[in-house]
Amino acid sequence: MGENIDFRRWDELIPDALGLIFKNLPLQEILTVVPRVCKSWRKAVTGPYCWQDIDIEQWSQQCRPETLDRMLQMLITRSSGSLRKLCVTGLANDQSLSLIADNAKSLQTLRLPRSEISDSIVEQVAGRLFSVTFLDVSYCRNIGAPALEAIGKNCKLLMGLRRTMHPLEVIDKLSQDDEAFAIATTMPKLKQLEVAYLLISTEAVLKILENCPELELLDVRGCWNVKLDENCIKKFTRLKVVGPLVVDYFGMKGCDDCSNYSGSSGYLAWDFVAGNVGSDYDDEISDGDWEDDHSMEDVEMRFYDGFDLDNAAFDWPLSP
């Protein structure tokens, strides 16, 4: 005799449970499909339940700056102060960083590669980023030592910093030792540091090693002026050094939580493949890229009952 099993209807699930499920969907479906299904699903995607972790890094590579600004405003507002992780590429102005900082009381992971942010705005908002433990400011050409110093002085919990640059972006610089010294003097709890292709010296790296005793991963690929011998590396039993020689780029993948770098020290070599620097993504959108080499279709994101979704319309790059 079969047992009677009481199945709960999908529209009766609490918003927290629905949010955990919807977080696994592609961004476009969360914003344009799910809200049309029923009122309980609409409530789930317009509340903070889906937006504690916001990863639009891949999508933001293909959208216009004004579209990105509107998207950030909408999603950060929905997080209602519960934002824990934000990954976005190419912030076009300082105002966007200010918006993020205003909602960063729970923020732990912040990835802003290729953003047009300045030293001055970082110095202004760093005090509001106090909970950040991992920061990615790779390929941010307009910041330097002042920004890194402000981050180090205010982000006391920082354990991971990614400050990778493209070789062509530093070709006009003589030295970036000031950035390395800013890191060394203000970020003692670092466990992961990636400064590939920065123009830094051996002296600057040794200063980092001296002042960051918990360091487990140091990426100095392409830092051609850095000369570290085996005896120097052996002093740091937990440390793995990547570079400065370049042999196999794809063997190395950055990590946000700094927890996977332990064990014996190593002096490793990795490859630089032009055009693929920084192409690692921890939480890629599952349905692949939305290509922008074809026509753009404006999608008015409205609920099934005609409610205007945050009064916003976004351009979604769609494949043909």
Q: Are 159 and 133 in contact (CB under 8 A)?
A: yes
Q: Is residue 225 part of a domain?
A: no
Q: What's the N-to-C CA distance of the chain in angstroms?
A: 53
Give the CA distances from residue 73 to residues 98, 103, 124, 282, 300, in Å, rounded to whole numbers and listed in that order.
Answer: 11, 11, 20, 23, 17
Q: What are phi and psi of 299, to 5 degrees?
A: -110, 110
The total domain count for the chain is 1
Q: Is residue 101 part of a domain?
A: no
Chain segment 134-174, per-residue pLDDT in tens: 999 999 999 999 999 999 999 999 999 999 988 777 777 78
3-class DSSP state for residue 312? strand
* pLDDT of 166: 87
**What distance lies between CA 204 and its chain's CA centroid?**
26
Domain of residue 43 covers: 7-49
Say which range, 14-28, 101-115, 156-170, has the weakest mean pLDDT: 14-28
Q: Is residue 19 part of a domain?
A: yes
Q: Is residue 319 part of a domain?
A: no
Q: Is residue 122 part of a domain?
A: no
Q: Is residue 176 part of a domain?
A: no
Name the pTM for this structure.
0.74
Q: Is residue 222 part of a domain?
A: no
